[in-house]
Amino acid sequence: MKKHILNVTMGVAGIALVGGVPFAKADSESPNFISSSGILSLPIVSVDSITWYSDVDLQLNFDTGQFSLLSATSTDGAVSLESRIATLEDLVVPSMTVDEETALDSRVDALEVQIVSPISEEAASLDERISALESVLNPAIITTNLQPGRYLDNGDWCFDLSGPYVYDTSRVTYFIQSCSDYNTPVVMEFVSGSTDGHPQMGERLVDLSMPDNRIYGLITDSDVNGNSPTYGWQVNEIVGVRQSGDFLTVDLYSAGATDAQSTAYATITLTKQAE
**Position with higher pLDDT, 161 vs 201:** 161
For the cut 80, the answer to whether the pLDDT of residue 56 exceeds it is: yes
Report how far residue 90's alpha carbon sits from residue 86's, in angstroms, rounded to the nearest whole number: 6
Pick left, alpha or beta for residue 156 (phi over 0 → left; psi -120 to 50 → alpha; otherwise beta): left
pLDDT band at 7 (very low <50, low <70, confident <90, very high): very low
pLDDT of residue 13: 33
pLDDT of residue 205: 74
- DSSP structural state of residue 12: G
Q: What is the tens place of the pLDDT at every residue in 121-133?
A: 665 777 788 878 7
Task: Say what percent of the chain tops pLDDT 90.
Answer: 15
Q: For residue 254, how many other CB atoms are within 10 A of its CB?
A: 20
Report how far residue 248's alpha carbon sits from residue 96's, in angstroms, rounded to the nearest whole number: 27
> What residues have CB less than 8 Å from 207, skipping those under 6 apart?
none
Report how far residue 106's alpha carbon sits from residue 143's, in angstroms, rounded to the nearest whole number: 29
C-alpha 139, offset from chain centre: 10
Q: What is the tens place of the pLDDT at every residue in 31-49?
A: 888 888 888 888 777 655 5
Report how far residue 144's alpha carbon sits from residue 66's, in angstroms, rounded to the nearest whole number: 10
3-state secondary structure of 97: coil
| pTM greater than the 0.75 cutoff | no
For the cut 50, the answer to whether the pLDDT of residue 11 exceeds it is: no
Task: Say what percent of the chain tops pLDDT 70.
Answer: 74
> What dihedral angle (degrees, nearest 10) is formed by the CA atoms of 147, 148, 154, 158?
180
pLDDT of residue 20: 36
